[in-house]
Structure 1
Amino acid sequence: DLSESLSLLLATLESTADGILVVDRHQRVSSVNARFAEIWNIPASMHQEKRDEALLNHVLSLLVDPEAFRHRVRELYEHPADESFDTLLFRDGRVIERYSKPQMIEDRIVGRVWSFRDVTKFRRAEQAIEESHRRIDRLLSTSPAVLFSFRPEFPFEVTFLSSNVVDQLGYEPALFLGNPDFWKQLLLPEGMKRGPGWLERLQDDGHFSDVLRFRHRDGRIRWLSIELRVVSGTGGQPAEIVGSSSDVTDRIESEAERDQLRASLARSEAMSAIGSLVGGVAHEVRNPLFTISASLDAFEARFGTRPEYRNYVAALRGSVDRLSRLMNELLDYGKPPRFNLESIALHETVAMAIELLPNPMPRPGIVIENQVPVDLPRLLLDRDLVLQVFRNLIENALQHLPEQGLVVVSAAPTAWSGRPGVECRVSDSGPGFNPGSIRRIFEPFVG
């Protein structure tokens, strides 16, 4: 029975993955297995060595920190009841876990058992995983796209969000992870209205993309390109929704600016062509108009006092005067602009524009109020052009008012791009602009 037990014990020691060393109370080697010799590169000549000190001197050369190893061994021999667990670093890069505890027979300590396990592969795998996690964190934090995932069912709780969301929207990821409705509060209303549509797309196609507007923490509106995809789990059921968001605000704004620039260039080219055309037309019309005016002067000098001609002469004279003013304006429109700047009081200029309104303006029941402050600072402007601007705006308002109405001209100090200025308003109680005409408001002959 004893030999059988001893055989079983030796077989067990040799079959274990750990290197085993057993020493007695006098630090003599009682037992050692082949795995111990393999881990510590013990030559065959030392396999029968019984002195622990001889083995200790051999293994010290293999360690990164031999003095710490020797110190711990001495501590344990001085305190035979202590147990110990630590990690050893070898010069060749291996990592060995060392475990030691007293050998007991009943209640007596008769020696010490040392076990050594090579965990180099596990540690390298752990390091590789940690490095992979660090690499992923670096990629996520420096990526222009925010990556996220959320549950596929209501209330669509966010389960992961990359840290670079702080750069995109100004908020820490924890705010999104702790509140399922937080991201919905940042999405502008039109995006929420499209919610049912993207849910249907996800259910039908398994993916969805759109460009939505979100409000940044600083109040700015950011355009985000959203990509969503359903990830299936066991049985093909949706397990989660993963996605990314990229800030495309600059691209959209630059595209809008480019479109505006193209439209402005097209309008400028059209205005230039119109200017050349109307200038030529005005020149051609002015001579016949002068003949009509001269003939009307002669007719008025001879027959203007007769009652039966008086109304006709007045109507013709008003029409000729209006055509003359129109021709002068057309000729001015076709010329390069030249400004005659002078210091003017805006209240007085508006009052003059109201006085110069043609009869029968304003009609009975129409009130025009000049609410421009008298003490407004004087402005350096072309008086004639400003008069024309206010007169045209007021006339346009009067033409579209019903039988009774109100036209108000007002002004107030303001700033534009950091420079002081004055904001002028002409408002009325009429129906307002046709939405389709707003875009063409600065084109000539659009009323």
Structure 2
Amino acid sequence: MKPRRVMAALGTATSVILMLDLAAFGAIHPRSSLLRSGGTPRSQPPPVLATAAIHATSTTTATPVPTTVTSAPPPPPRILFSHSPPGTSHGPVMSVLPDGTGLQPAANPSVRVTQLSSSRGLQVYSKTISSTSHPYSGCGIAGCSSGYVGSTEAGIAVAQPDGSGERVLTSGGYDVDPSFSPDGDTIAYLRHQEGGHGATVDAVGLMSWDGVPLGALRPPDGWTYASPVWSPDGTSIAVERRSTSVPDEQAGGSAVMVLPLDGGPPRQVASGPFRDLAWSHGGRELAGVRTRYVRYGTRTAWQPGDHPTGDDVWVVPLDGSAPRNVTNLAPAQEPSTFCETNLSMVRASKPAWSPDDTHVAFLESATSDVSSGGVSDVGVVDSSGRHRVTVFSSPRPAHCDPRTGMSQAPRGEIVAVLGWS
């Protein structure tokens, strides 16, 4: 019997043809003599490896070597801010690296608007609709005084990033501090309204991007809300809850709360007055600003009469860990002169997380700067608080009046942190 040959193609890039003498593989054939009754082969077959003829024929001259493509690392995040020269309300948008280097104009100046809807491309803001005031004078137990009292009507408005197509969505009250939800379809804002016992409180109003009311998150009696901020997944809003009868710094006077939008119970994550809240992108921490007060004598708790020495940026973990001061800008002792007080008392505001949650950018200003027109610096600190840098400085007043503590300088630049690239 003649041996039969079979051809098998293996591989993809290279075709390899195997030619096997099946007579040498009688052990695997169903009619092999090894499987016959009696089990004794008629002849001793040669070893398989000795008789299997393997011939390889390549259809290509060489096996291709995979090419490794190395992509360039993404550019580091940059802090975006605007600064308006004296006498103007709008200025150029600048960007700078977290270490303070690489200051340059922003590649896309339209980033001036930070509260943009991700799905609609609209900006949202609070707009003054009307403002009235009238003089008053009177005398009481503390003596006589005079001045002006008035009222302001403010509503929530949306418009294109360039300001065109403006639509006022709310009116007839005092609505401020709006922000879009992460999906860009819902707006949260603070609505001034009457609370219990004649007190005026702020609730968190909710509406669709085009102004359809969606309800409100109202504080309990005796409390008011401030600094609303969306969670990254859009399921909750964090607020500062303030007492209407107890000072913020006093025990029980204020706290940071997380309000679920599904109707679940509010959850307290920190006690104390933390304003200008900002939620980290990963959802694990909040950044906020807190004012430091001088404690007199040996007491450690706040009491009326304590004096503020400045602000600091804090990080509030949401896992129940203690909040931590990451800037330590405010001095621990009260300055001795008006000028020293106003020049050393730093006012912080508007913290903003970097995309990877490793740094927080913020505004820092001396009290005298604020009183002379809002001169501010841009600072950045890593979330652990180990390293802080001032990445942009505005020109400082050259003189301070020791009698009043006020800077004798013209109106300075107005700086605003817009976020991160």
TM-score by length of 2: 0.19
Judging by fraction of residues, say which structure has more helix: 1
Q: Kindly indicate whether structure 1 or structure 2 has the higher relative contact order, using CA contacts under 8 Å at least 6 residues apart.
A: 2
Query: Which protein is bigger by CA-based radius of gyration?
Result: 1
TM-score by length of 1: 0.19
